């Protein structure tokens, strides 16, 4: 027998054996937030549920805190097939397409009930957009309402003039510009360090991130503006999904549905706990002054106008569905 034939036979043997050899699929799942963050805990539970429902056939290895890919690199990693599944924040991609920034528009949806309605209105557009990039949304979960953290008291927008402002998305940078602060983009995983080195002194985020990053060591004031509830989304590569057998796909989708319901519930339930923890750790937690509130509302009005202009007819359709 010539060597060529031998190789062919060997290859065929490996091919036949492969269903048993490769019976287990292992996926890497990068996320941008700390292991103890509520989104990450929810994702860890999701991975455990998938493992159990597939009897270990589909293993998802969660890499939290930007350890495998930084938060803003995860979408591209899943698109490019370097990771099969990953977590993003929609609003982080508003420069790519304004529709991603729908839930980062200040004062458009400010409660969980409104956020839920906006999520439903936004969902078809997100699915279409991501499908074109070979990505499928498994579930999405909101952060608690966004407020202002600052090292010094902020009674009006004037107090933010020139202040170094940490941003996590194009729209959080835009707010800084509109109030005259200096935006610096920093991912949540690097927030503690940025505060410790004095790179930033104010920012908008949730009590959850304030708590996760123990911001009270540098930052003493929190203004509960409840400006918007941005969502994280878990995306899977459509190609990786299609390569699964049907029972595994079904198990994944079922676990995803449960993770979405659980995530929304935990996010809302823990909102109060996070703010209490800020107080407990010496922070001043208060409602914004009437002046600050009115000024922020104006910023919101400007930004919704800008968003509508760039998001065009598709954006308008989302707004119409949301306001119906």
x/- letters, 253..292, toward ligand PCA (CB under 6 A): ----------------------------------------
Using CB atoms, what's the residue nearest to ligand PCA?
Answer: 206
Exposed (0-12), middle (13-18) or buried (19+): which is 316, by Cβ within 10 Å? exposed
Strand 221-223's sheet: what is its strand order?
182-185, 164-167, 202-205, 147-150, 221-223, 284-286
Q: In the bound complex, what is the minimum distance in angstroms from residue 105's beta carbon to ligand PCA? A: 14
Half-sphere exposure of 231 (CA within 13 A, CB side): 31
Q: In the bound complex, what is the minimum distance in angstroms from residue 36's beta carbon to ligand PCA? A: 14
Residues 91-150 close enough to bind ligand PCA by CB under 6 A: 143
Beta-sheet pairing, 284-286 with 221-223: parallel
Q: In the bound complex, what is the minimum distance in angstroms from residue 33's beta carbon to ligand PCA? A: 7
Q: In the bound complex, what is the minimum distance in angstroms from residue 188's beta carbon to ligand PCA? A: 4
Question: In this structure, what token pair is assigned to residue 138?
Answer: 């498994």
x/- letters, 186..215, toward ligand PCA (CB under 6 A): --x----------------xx-xx------
Number of residues that bind ligand PCA (CB under 6 A): 9
102 or 209: CB nearest ligand PCA = 209
- Residue whose structure tokens are 């699964």: 244
58 or 154: CB nearest ligand PCA = 154
Q: In the bound complex, what is the minimum distance in angstroms from residue 35's beta carbon to ligand PCA? A: 15
Q: In the bound complex, what is the minimum distance in angstroms from residue 168's beta carbon to ligand PCA? A: 4
265 or 323: CB nearest ligand PCA = 265
Q: In the bound complex, what is the minimum distance in angstroms from residue 274's beta carbon to ligand PCA? A: 10
Distance between CA 280 and CA 247 in Å, rounded? 47
Half-sphere exposure of 47 (CA within 13 A, CB side): 24
**Which residues are bridge partners to 236 per DSSP?**
85, 136
Q: In the bound complex, what is the minimum distance in angstroms from residue 243's beta carbon to ligand PCA? A: 32
x/- letters, 15..44, toward ligand PCA (CB under 6 A): ------------------------------
Residues 73-92 close enough to bind ligand PCA by CB under 6 A: 89
Distance between CA 73 and CA 86 in Å, rounded? 10
Q: In the bound complex, what is the minimum distance in angstroms from residue 89's beta carbon to ligand PCA? A: 6
Distance between CA 107 and CA 298 in Å, rounded? 10
Half-sphere exposure of 135 (CA within 13 A, CB side): 25
Residues 154-183 close enough to bind ligand PCA by CB under 6 A: 168
71 or 255: CB nearest ligand PCA = 71
Of 39, 41, 31, 53, the closest CA to residue 253 belongs to 53
Query: How far is CA 104 from each of CA 74, 115, 136, 174, 243, rounded to the nearest angstrom?
Result: 19, 11, 21, 11, 34
235 or 251: CB nearest ligand PCA = 235
Of 110, 143, 140, the closest CA to residue 127 belongs to 140
Of 127, 154, 129, the closest CA to residue 139 belongs to 127
103 or 260: CB nearest ligand PCA = 103
Question: In this structure, what token pair is assigned to residue 93?
Answer: 């991609």
Residues 214-243 close enough to bind ligand PCA by CB under 6 A: 230
216 or 241: CB nearest ligand PCA = 216
| Residues at the contact surface with ligand PCA, assessed by CB under 6 A | 89, 143, 168, 188, 205-206, 208-209, 230
């Amino acid at each position: 027998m010539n060597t060529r034939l031998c190789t062919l036979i060997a290859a065929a043997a490996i091919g036949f054996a492969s269903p048993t050899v490769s019976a287990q699929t292992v996926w890497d799942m990068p996320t941008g937030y700390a292991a103890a963050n509520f989104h990450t805990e929810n994702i860890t539970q999701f991975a455990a549920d998938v493992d159990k429902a597939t009897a270990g056939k589909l293993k998802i290895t969660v890499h939290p805190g930007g350890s495998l890919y930084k938060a803003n690199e995860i979408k591209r990693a899943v698109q490019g097939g370097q990771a099969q599944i990953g977590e993003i924040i929609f609003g982080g991609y508003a420069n790519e397409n304004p529709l991603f920034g729908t839930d980062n528009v200040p004062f458009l949806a400010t409660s969980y009930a409104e956020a839920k309605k906006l999520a439903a209105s936004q969902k078809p557009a997100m699915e279409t957009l991501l499908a074109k990039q070979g990505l499928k949304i498994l579930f999405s979960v909101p952060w608690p309402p966004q407020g202002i953290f600052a090292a010094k008291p902020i009674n009006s927008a004037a107090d933010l003039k020139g202040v170094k402002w940490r941003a996590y998305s194009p729209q959080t940078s835009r707010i800084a510009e509109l109030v005259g602060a200096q935006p610096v983009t920093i991912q949540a995983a690097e927030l503690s360090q940025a505060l410790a080195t004095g790179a930033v002194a104010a920012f908008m985020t949730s009590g959850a991130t304030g708590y996760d990053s123990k911001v009270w060591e540098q930052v003493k004031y929190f203004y509960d503006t409840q400006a918007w509830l941005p969502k994280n989304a878990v995306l899977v590569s459509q190609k990786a999904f299609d390569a699964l057998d049907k029972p595994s796909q079904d198990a994944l989708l079922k676990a995803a549905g449960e993770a979405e319901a659980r995530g929304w519930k935990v996010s809302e339930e823990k909102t109060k706990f996070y703010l209490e923890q800020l107080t407990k750790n010496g922070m001043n937690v208060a409602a914004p002054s009437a002046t600050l509130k009115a000024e922020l509302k104006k910023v919101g009005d400007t930004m919704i106008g800008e968003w509508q202009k760039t998001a065009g007819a598709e954006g308008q359709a989302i707004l119409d569905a949301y306001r119906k």
